[in-house]
Amino acid sequence: MLKNLFIAFVTISSFSAAQAQTTQEQPDADLIVINAKIFTGNPRQAEASALAVRNGRIYSVGSDVDILGLKNSATKVIDARSRRLIPGIIDAHTHVLNDLAYNYSVRWDGVPTLRRALTMLSEQAQRTPEGQWVKVIGGWSPYQFEENRFPTLAELREAVPDHPMIVQYAYNRAFLNKQAMEALGVGTERFPKVPDIEFEKDSHGNPTGVVHGYTWLFLALEGMVPQPTFDEQVSSIVYSVHGLNRTGVTSIIDNGGRWPYPEAQARVAVLARDNRLNVRMPFVDLQLGDGGPVNMVDLEIEAITKTAPISPGQNLHPTLAHGHEYRGAGEVLSGEVHDHENFDRPAVIIEPEKMRRFVEQDVMKLVQRRIPFRMHVSYNENISPFLDGLEKVNETIPLHGLKWSLEHAETISPENIDRVKTLGGGIALDAKMALHADGFIKTYSREKALETPRLRKLVDSGIPLAMTTDAFRAATFNPWVGISWMVSGKSVSGSEVLADNNRLSRAEALKLFTSGAAWFMNAEAELGTIAPGKLADFAVLDRDYFAVPEEQISSISSVLTIMDGKVVYGAQDYSALSPKLPEILPAWSPVKYFGSYHGEK
C-alpha cells in the first residue's frame, strides 16, 4: 500500500514538474496584433497578418491562428481591422533638441492655405501674453499653400498688431513686424553681426522687416527672443515627440543644435528617469562655443572626455535600448566650411584647399579617437575636396569600422557616391526638395531639380542610405511628405520635380525611413523590419500606403504607434489606448490649440 502511494506521488510530482517546464519553454505574448496587412520589410517573410510581442521585442510573426496560439489571460490583443502595419519610422536626421522652444511656436506644417495660416497667427496673437512673441519657426513652405506665395508684411502686421512677431522660412528668410525690429535692434549695434545678411528696404532706404540670411543669423535671432523655462523645454520635447509618434516615428537621431552636450541631455534625462521618452533618441553633438570663431572638433573632444565623459554608443537612458545614445560628432564640424543649403540663393562653395586642410587637421582627430562623425555638406563642389581629405586620412588611419556619413549631399555626383562607398561611409539625404524644390528651380533650373538628389543612382549603389526630414526648421517633421515626393516626383505645390527615372517604388521609399535608416543608429540587427527578435517598434496606418493614390501619401498618419512594445500614440479606434499627455507648458502654447500638424485638432 505504501509502495503504491509512493509511486503515485512520484508520478504526480514528475507530471507537475514537466508541466511547469513546458510552460516556461512556451512563453506567452504580452501583446498580439491580428488582422493586419503587415509589410515586414523582411525578404524572408514579406507579409503576414499578425505579430506577437514579448518583453519589448517581436516574438513571432505569422497568421492570425498561429499568433493567437501564444495568447494567455494577460495578453493584450489588438485588432488592426485590416489596416496596414509597417515597421516604426526612423528619422536619421532631425533636431528635436534644437527646438526646446517648440511649444512657443505656431506650426504651419501641412496648412493648406495662406488664409488659414494667417488666421492661426491672428488667433494666437490674441492669447499670447504681454512680453512674449508670436512665432512661426520653419517647417513650412509658401509652395504648400493654395495661394502659392509668401505672406506679405501687410498681411502679417494685420494678423499680429500688438506683439513682436517673427515668421521664419527654413534658414532662408524671416519676416519681422515693427515691434520685432525694435526688440532686435534692426539698424543698430544690437543686431547680430553675422556674414551675408540682406535686408529688403523700402523706397526711403529703410528696412521693411524682410531679412535674408543663412543658418547663423537665425540661430542668433532665436537666442534674442524670450526663452522657455526648464520645465517648458521638457514639455516641448514631450509634445514634439507626440507629433512624431502621430506620423509613425519611433526612432530619431537628434543631429545637434544650439543646445550642446551635456546641457540638452539634462532635459531628456527628466523623461528617461520616469520612462516617459516615447521615442528612441540617439544623438550626435555639435559644440558652437560662446560666440566667435572656435575649433568645434576640439570643443567636442573636450566635452566628451573632460566636461562629461561619455563613449560612442554609451546609452544615457537607464532602460530603453538605443534610448539616448551618444553617436558621435556633427552635423556641423566647423563653421568655416559650413555650406548652408539655401536654395533661394546660389550654392555656398568652400575654397577646396580650406576644406581639405580642415579634414586632414580636424576630422583626423575624430578618426584617431574612433569617434563617429557626420558632416553637413550639401553641394558636390564641397563634397569632392572633403573626400580628398578623407582619403588622405584613410591612408594613415584607416576608417574601416568607423561609422561616418555625409548629411544632405543633395547634388552629389555618381563618382563621389562611389568614393563614399569605398570609404565605408553612408549618406543621410533629406526631403527638403519636397518643400523647397520650386525655389531650387528658380535658382538652378528644372533640369537640375529633376536629378536632385540622384535617388535612383544612390539606391542602386547599395551604399548605406537614409532619407530624413531635417526638421523642425529647415523642413517639416512629417516623413510622409518626403515619401510622397520620392514616389510621385512632385513637390508640395504639385509641380513635377523628380524625373520618372529618378523616382522610387513605395517599398524602396519606405525602406529609406526604416531599415536603411537603422544603419545610422548602428542598430541594423534590431530595428527597421518586422521580424522575430527585433525591437517591437511599429505603426498601424490610417490608410494603406501601398494602395492609396499617390496624392494621398503625404496625408497618411498613424492610428496606433507602438515603441518598445508599448502604445505611445493612439487615434480613432485606439484613442483610449493612447497614454495621457501632461498639461502643456506654457498654458497659452499654440500647440495646445492647433496641434503640431494641420488636421491634428
With a cut of 70, say whether residue 12 has pLDDT above it: no
**Tens digits of per-residue pLDDT, 209-230?**
999 999 999 999 999 999 999 9
ω before 453 within 30° of 0 (cis)?
A: yes
Beta pairing partners, 252 = 91
**Residue 489: is it exposed, middle or buried by C-beta count within 10 angstroms (0-12/13-18/19+)?**
buried
Interacting residues of 456 by C-beta distance below 8 A, sequence separation 6+: 501, 502, 503, 504
What pLDDT sits at residue 4?
Answer: 46
With a cut of 90, say whether residue 272 has pLDDT above it: yes
pTM of the model: 0.95
ω before 331 within 30° of 0 (cis)?
A: yes
What is the C-alpha separation between 543 and 529, in angstroms, rounded?
Answer: 20
Chain-centre distance of CA 298, in angstroms? 27
Average pLDDT of span 187-206: 93
* Helix 380-396 × helix 414-422 angle, to 10°: 20
**Tens digits of per-residue pLDDT, 554-598?**
999 999 999 999 999 999 999 999 999 999 999 999 999 999 999
With a cut of 60, say whether residue 601 has pLDDT above it: yes
What pLDDT sits at residue 26?
Answer: 56
How far, CA to CA in Å, does 183 sit from each of 142, 205, 224, 366, 573? Answer: 26, 20, 9, 41, 48
Closest CA to 414 of 487, 485, 463: 463
- Nine-digit cell string for 67: 499568433
With a cut of 80, say whether residue 189 has pLDDT above it: yes
How far, CA to CA in Å, does 198 sit from each of 115, 191, 368, 412, 447? Answer: 28, 13, 41, 29, 28
- Nine-digit cell string for 230: 526648464
Chain-centre distance of CA 323, in angstroms? 15
Percent of the chain with pLDDT over 70: 96
How far, CA to CA in Å, does 312 sit from each of 286, 318, 322, 427? Answer: 14, 16, 12, 19
Residue type, 520: F
**Tens digits of per-residue pLDDT, 138-178?**
999 999 999 999 999 999 999 999 999 999 999 999 999 99
**Residue 202: is it exposed, middle or buried by C-beta count within 10 angstroms (0-12/13-18/19+)?**
exposed
What is the C-alpha separation between 464 and 92, in angstroms, rounded?
Answer: 12
**Residue 149: is it exposed, middle or buried by C-beta count within 10 angstroms (0-12/13-18/19+)?**
exposed
What is the C-alpha separation between 469 and 478, in angstroms, rounded?
Answer: 7
What pLDDT sits at residue 330?
Answer: 97
**Tens digits of per-residue pLDDT, 426-466?**
999 999 999 999 999 999 999 999 999 999 999 999 999 99
Q: Write out the H or E segment, with its range, that includes residue 377.
A: strand 373-377
What is the C-alpha separation between 405 and 377, in angstroms, rounded?
Answer: 10
* Residue 6 pLDDT level (bands cut at 50, 70, 90): very low
Q: Are 250 and 281 in contact (CB under 8 A)?
A: no
Higher pLDDT, 18 or 472: 472
How far, CA to CA in Å, does 395 sit from each of 299, 364, 365, 382, 406? Answer: 26, 11, 14, 21, 19
With a cut of 60, say whether residue 14 has pLDDT above it: no
With a cut of 50, say whether residue 10 has pLDDT above it: no
- Nine-digit cell string for 468: 530624413
Q: Are 167 and 210 in contact (CB under 8 A)?
A: no
Q: Which residue has the cell 561609422?
A: 403
Q: What is the overall mean pLDDT for the chain?
A: 95
What pLDDT sits at residue 24?
Answer: 43
Q: Are 236 and 301 in contact (CB under 8 A)?
A: no
